[in-house]
Amino acid sequence: MADVVIGIDIGGTITKFGLMTATGKVVFHDNMPTTGFSGFDEYFKALTDKLSLACKKTASQVLGVGVGAPMGNFIEGSIDMATNLGWGKKVPVAGRFSEFFNKPAYLVNDATAAAIGEKTFGLAKKMDDFLLITLGTGLGCGIYVNGKLLHGKHGYAGELGHVTVIPEGRKCNCGRLGCLETYVSASGVMKSVREFKTKKGFENSVLHDEAAYPDSKAVARAAANGDPLAEYIFEFTGEVLASSLANVIAMFNPEAIIFSGGLANAGSLLIGPLEQFLSRKVLHNLRGKTKIYVSKLDSEKIAVLGAASYAWQMIEEHSHNKSLVV
């Protein structure tokens, strides 16, 4: 029997999971839909059925569970009112997994899990101060300061997606106006398409054909082909992002900001304008100091790897503390 921990990344539509050894070897990886269940209990049963089967197939012994999820609260071990999941108030996710496997279970925010993945396996291996920003349906952020994760007093640190970037701007799922993720995310890009396509000069843009260009990936393709509206949208998105990151850089003085997720795959289409606007907006003594990267890790696996690594770290810390007491 090989000792493993389970890593789980609960996304709005897909849940990814895997089994990882202490040396970081992934012995099993799969996914299933997050939606289509009557509630958390039915979802939990389907997921634990799959995990139990995977453990049996791979002859693995589970030592712990690490979970990354939107609105995942590390301190309480619960997911609270995640807008896309619809599971209601305070679902005790860590407690349920711990009970089921009779082993310790840990819950972190999904972007925090991705940051742990980047720190353990990616570009941030040797960095003590960096931010990992996930650009998916929304915008998430995991923060390392002085080599340690920043959780905050109540476990909600890193909600960069809900920092106000344009006062009285677009309406956000959180109920507020002008949040960063309503501009800088896959869904934010599509909002920009709808907002700007009626502007003068964009009458002939291919983006008017919504069936052919239904998502941010297609908008990136149009921009790469020189469509003026698509190019304008990436320029605009880069500028809005730069405004927020100039504040973030002034606050945290990070060595790097690393992007992961679907929209990050647009690469230089987004990073180009971002760096250009950042060089103007950042406080003069910090100018050019923070490096901007796109993660090289598979964005499909980064949070699973991070959640599993976190569980290993916590298990090792715990056994170390125990031996100190003895």
The contact set with Zn ion (CB under 5 A) reads 162, 172, 174, 176, 179
140 or 273: CB nearest Zn ion: 140
Spatial strand order of the sheet with 256-260 comes to 148-149, 139-145, 130-135, 256-260, 291-294
Closest CB 182 distance from Zn ion, rounded Å: 7
Neighbouring C-alpha atoms within 13 Å toward the C-beta of 95: 10
Closest CB 184 distance from Zn ion, rounded Å: 12
Closest CB 71 distance from Zn ion, rounded Å: 12
DSSP string, 208-229: G-TTTS-SHHHHHHHHHTT-HH
Distance of alpha carbon 120 from alpha carbon 307, whole angstroms: 11
47 or 141: CB nearest Zn ion: 141
10 or 165: CB nearest Zn ion: 165
Query: What are the residues whose beta carbons fall under 8 Å from the beta carbon of 21, sequence distance 6 or more?
Result: 2, 3, 4, 27
Distance of alpha carbon 160 from alpha carbon 111, whole angstroms: 10
86 or 201: CB nearest Zn ion: 86
Closest CB 137 distance from Zn ion, rounded Å: 13
Q: Look at residues 216, 68, 221 and name the one whose alpha carbon lies nearest to residue 149.
A: 68
Closest CB 231 distance from Zn ion, rounded Å: 27
List C-alpha distances in Å: 320 to 22, 62, 211, 314, 324.
Answer: 15, 19, 57, 10, 6
98 or 244: CB nearest Zn ion: 244
Identify the sign of the CA torsion 125, 11, 131, 252. negative
Spatial strand order of the sheet with 26-33 comes to 26-33, 14-20, 2-10, 60-69, 105-109
Closest CB 162 distance from Zn ion, rounded Å: 4
Closest CB 133 distance from Zn ion, rounded Å: 15
55 or 172: CB nearest Zn ion: 172
Give the phi and the psi of residue 280 in degrees, each rounded to 5.
Answer: -90, -30
103 or 170: CB nearest Zn ion: 170
- Quote the DSSP letter at residue 317: H
